[in-house]
Amino acid sequence: MQKVTKAYHGAPAIKDIDFDLRPGEIHALLGENGAGKSTLTKIMAGVVESTAGRMLHRGQPVRFATPSQALQAGIAMVFQETSLVPSMTVAQNLYLGSESFLNRLRGIYISAQQFLQSLNFPVDPTATVATLGTAKRQMVEIARAVKHNAEVMIFDEPTSSLTPEEKRHFFALMRRLKQRGVSIVFISHALEEALAHSDRITILRDGEHVVTNDTSTFDRDTVIRAMVGRSLSTEIYKARRTTNQLRQRGEKVLSVQDISMGNLVRNNSFSIYDGQITGVFGLIGSGRTETFKIVSGIYKRDFLRGGDVELRGRPVRYRVPAPAVKDGIVYVTEDRKTEGFFETMSIAENLYSGLLAAGLDKATFVSRREMRTLSAEWSGKLNIRAITDNAKVIELSGGNQQKVVIGKGLVQKPRIVIFDEPTRGVDVGAIAEIHHFINALADDGLAVVVISSYLPEIMNLSDRILVCRQGRIVEELSPDDATEEKIMYAAVH
């Protein structure tokens, strides 16, 4: 790619970027959210067209108008948010676009089963995609790219929702693809992954190329400095806090006793306190998300013997989220694209919809002025950066989208805020801002819950750590005596 530029509404998202990819190399593309990584890779994969510059494929100038053109040329992209058809089965999704004139479903299932097994992905090919969790959807997405025998594969945050075991399989797969001569572009916010598995690293900042070099010339700090222009590692994952630095618990605000929901949540009991950040760690499938979705009225607990939830001593049983929101419980989702925002609406409209949902809007009719005031206030508080004021949320970077989702929840004036994977798919700069904001909420006396799969995040943010395993909290640890090993031991044993 030579001098590639892409502008939205006249404002450049990337400017004059040069990028080259060698045959059979793993190339990590790093940068803060909004740095232009996704835009650059979307141009490669034909999802968007560049405004200026040119792309050469095997020495020949190319210009892809659609992803299918890029795929025909051997360039496939696995998106950060999966693009599968939820109502179709895994096998149907794998063969979508390459079906023969007459299809035999059984044959597709058998061939899909064999293919998934060859990749070591434990996914049932007959399962409907809508019933799969995020990790398994990601696996199907990856499998689909491999299926098309692409010679260039672009992975956008492929491991963000995978368990450690699944990540090992994924990186083994990446190495196998490399041996077959496949070139891989690999976007990740987990810097250790990029440093451990890539051959070269390119770093973008604010839509501009900063550096490209062999991975051996980088370490964590140099990468972060290049990404953000400052060293953030000490700011984000600072040294362990002592007992005195931990916040003392306030009043017990939420008491959950033996709640159950099928096999996902089993007799789960815990309490949440004001003025503290309660970190919840668990591997995927441990029931942590489901537990807090029950608390916030998104899921319903078992009808028979489903347990008790008490909010400040008052028994509550929410069937929909609205009464929970009115009671001050806000859940900030891990799946922002599906559950977090209206992607074609503006930032202001999204924030205002949060206000409407809580019934806190002042006017009888939708007030544009109130909407603008609200947007200005929360964009400032959360430092939401957009190219224009009317930018749709889908046009924002992952970090800014996440801030919109957080803002949409916080305009509802909650007393309990539940953040589910608040920094998934978010760059290091935005991580620091989001962490700072979460800490400020707890300092203001709110009860804050942070669900995360990332141990350093849990250990640095939490005032107490709950470990979830097989649908229930099995252990509570204090960050001053917790170690990653202790937490993981409780999570897996």
Partner 1 sequence: MRLDSLLDHFRGRAVTIPPMDGALRPNTALDDSAAELLEVAAPDNLVSGGGQVFYSTGSDLLRLPAYGEGGPAAVARFDAPVSTLACSADGTIAIGLDDGRILLKGGAVDGQTLAPAAFGGLACPTALAFADAGTLLVCQGSSAHRPSDWVVDLMSKNASGSVWRVDLAAGRASRLAGDLAFPYGVLANAPGGGVVVAESWRHRLVRILPEGGVEPLLTKLPGYPARLAAGADGGAWLCLFAPRNRLIEFVLEEDAYRADMMREVERAHWIAPALSSGAAFLEPLQCGGVKTMGIHKPWSPSRSYGLLVRLDRTLRPVASFHSRANGRRHGITSAIEQDRRVLVTSKGGNAILGLSVMP
Q: By the criterion CB under 8 A, which residues form the site for partner 1?
A: 249, 252, 255-258, 260, 267, 269-271, 273, 303-308, 315-317, 464, 466, 473-476, 478, 490, 493
Query: Closest CB to partner 1 among 173 and 458?
Result: 458
Give the helix ranges, DSSP H, for 383-483: 398-410, 428-443, 455-461
Query: Closest CB to partner 1 among 58 and 319?
Result: 319
Query: Closest CB to partner 1 among 186 and 318?
Result: 318
Radius of gyration of the chain (CA): 23
Cα separation, 390 vs 385, whole angstroms: 12
Cα separation, 40 vs 168, whole angstroms: 27
Cα separation, 388 vs 390, whole angstroms: 5
Query: Closest CB to partner 1 among 164 and 323?
Result: 323
Cα separation, 448 vs 438, whole angstroms: 8
Q: Output the smallest distance, CB 435 to partner 1, in A.
A: 24
Q: Among candidates 80, 228, 67, which has minimal Cα distance to 152?
A: 67
- How far apart, in Å, are the Cα atoms of 437 and each of 123, 409, 430? 38, 13, 10
Q: How is residue 340 written in tokens?
A: 């977090």
In contact, 328 and 295? CB cutoff 8 Å: no
Q: In this structure, which amino acid lies at residue 212? A: T
Query: Closest CB to partner 1 among 193 and 310?
Result: 310
Query: What does DSSP assign to residue 337?
Result: I
Query: Closest CB to partner 1 among 147 and 469?
Result: 469
Q: In this structure, which amino acid lies at residue 141? A: E
Q: Output the smallest distance, CB 343 to partner 1, in A.
A: 36
Query: In the sheet where 208-214 sits, what is the strand order?
Result: 75-78, 152-156, 183-187, 26-31, 200-205, 208-214
Element (H, E) at 323: helix 321-326
Q: Output the smallest distance, CB 299 to partner 1, in A.
A: 16
Q: In this structure, which amino acid lies at residue 36? A: G
Query: Closest CB to partner 1 among 420 and 463?
Result: 463
- Using alpha carbons only, give the angle 381, 382, 384 rounded to the nearest 5 degrees: 120
Q: Output the smallest distance, CB 314 to partner 1, in A.
A: 8
Cα 284 off chain centre by: 13
Query: Closest CB to partner 1 among 117 and 478?
Result: 478
Q: Output the smallest distance, CB 263 to partner 1, in A.
A: 16
Query: Closest CB to partner 1 among 113 and 255?
Result: 255
